[in-house]
Structure 1
Amino acid sequence: RPYVGASFDAVTSEVAEALGLNKARGALVVKVSEGGPAAKAGLKAGEIVTAVDGISVEHPDALLYRLTTAGLGNSVKLTVVENGREQQLPLVLARAPETSPRDQRTIGGHTPFTGAVVENLSPRVADELRMPPESAGVVVSEVKDDSPAARLGFEPKDIIVSINGTDVKSTSELSEIADSDPGLWRVEIERNGQRIRQFFR
């Protein structure tokens, strides 16, 4: 799929009314990532995309379908509505950038993470895992069956935020902490936008 560098939400009837649309349709721009294709096109949070190359889109899934079928490397014209005003914005469809090397590792040893495959998040990794493009940090991309990580309930797409109060910013940091074996583990993860704190011995 092409990387847009923005997240979208469905347009509710309340939003449509507030923005002067005659009915709830299109994709509401929720967030735009700095330096991404959407930002370069001039797309802003709060605007509604109503069509791609003149073909109307009823909801965010329809928008993503249109962008995917347009193909990587191509440019499309988005019809965007803001305050009842309609404008056309050219959007270049590119692959998501790999801003930090993914450095995929399988955690071994005797830790709560043993059997988890972790990698550094970049827009491309987030895109492959179907996560929001602005996700950052270290993500669990796979959990080996019957491993300690699986038994303790770790799931793919879990972002490991901190261990024993130390922020985890890269897979190498996670490996170092895992190798130090502190005995007691206070782990904070982010799952579907929710922060979860867990203790393991």
Structure 2
Amino acid sequence: MKKLKIFLHYLPIVLLTLFVFACKNERDREENVDNLRMSFYTQEIADKTPQANNLDNKGMPPNFTATAKMVLDAVVHIRSTQVVSDADGQITPRQLPDIFKDFFGDRFQLPENMPQQPVVGSGSGVIIDEKGYIVTNNHVINNAKELEVTLHDNETYKATVIGADPATDLALLQIKGANLKALSFVDSDNVEIGEWVLAIGNPYSLYSTVTAGIISAKARNININPEKFAVESFIQTDAAINPGNSGGALVNLSGEIVGINTAIASQTGSYSGYGFAIPSNIVTKVVADLLEYGHVQRGMLGINIITMNGNLAKEKKVDFRKGVWVENVNEDSAAEKAGIKAGDIITQIDGINVTTSPRLQEIIAQHRPGDKLSLVVNRKGTEKKVVVTLENVKGTTELSKKESVEMLNFMGADFETITKETAAKLNIDGGVKIVELYPGVLRQKTQIKVGFIITHVNGKKVNSIKDLVEELEGKEGGVMLEGVYEDLPGKYYYAFGID
């Protein structure tokens, strides 16, 4: 009986001790499993990603601090100021003094002191050259009269627009600064799905914000660009991108530009897991064109295309194969001249496999008129090789000449010489049409609008962009532009000064 009492006395202690040992063993087992999982994760990263050396010695995910330090100084905040007039910029004939009526006609621009309301927008940009060249989105600077760039150290500059391309939603600016930090581009064709990336920008004007994620997909088309010749082949990422990130950098862990952040897919207007960036290969081509020619030299095939899939194969009654279906071929286009036909399936371009329409667009967007491309097409089960010489929108291989970029940048506009047919329709000898407006003297000092056709500068006829530049270069004092709009009656006049 005495032994039983002693046993019962020590039983709780024994049970507690056994419980503690059991818990410890279970904890050790879980730690071993976790370590095994982490070891497997580390080995997977080491085997499959080029950023394996960013893992620390405990097998933890990459540390992004070194990359952030490399890139922050090169990503800028862009403040765009638009000015909305309280009227449409026209004076009625009754308000115009008789002496001006006789000379200028019944329409004339409003005086510069007309009440105006400033509207301020915000975005991001990336310095890509020590000379101060900055890449951003066209929609960040579109309709702006003034652009202000703020660096990571809060130094501020006025920016000049070198050029823009609405079709790719890209723009090139320049600031005059010293000791600027610039980023370089990486070949976006070599970027892999699952690769770590950082998005750097200024969401909601929160300067120098860094977010991390991976490349979620490539060659995405989200139909966000309304331009006629829009190119959409986005890199998709789950790095957080919000309003204000537009124009910022998407970089790999080496601090190289993978793409330019452009859009999000969201029902709320804020980040919901889907961000999109323009691939660096498209960006570098657009930048090179803007610097060399002042605008983009766009090569075209002249076909309508659809991504090939099982349902389309059934509809067209053909065997399914990966590629891009040619729905139709434009008459006298580059594709027709090369022998491409409706019903062909394009599978390769210059040795690169093509499986989606956006990917095909992306490859073509990296070339100019006159470039020759080797295509592989499948026609009714038989592969054929064809060589296509890309053409411009006018159906030729000519590259448009670069006029005086400095003067055109000062004007803040893109121009094109009107055709003889347009001139005859408007009953004028010729002229130069404004096709885009950027921050510059025209937007700052006049109420001029896109579509205005300049026919005279200070009373002298203008029939080409070359004529326009010659009349403006070296000019000081007042300048009077005379011209017409295609869809409005009468002549219009706009005046500004050159210091």
TM-score, with structure 2 as normaliser: 0.21
Which has the higher relative contact order, 1 or 2, with Cα contacts under 8 A spaced 6 or more apart? Answer: 1
| Structure with greater proportional helix content | 2
Normalising to structure 1: TM-score of the pair?
0.48
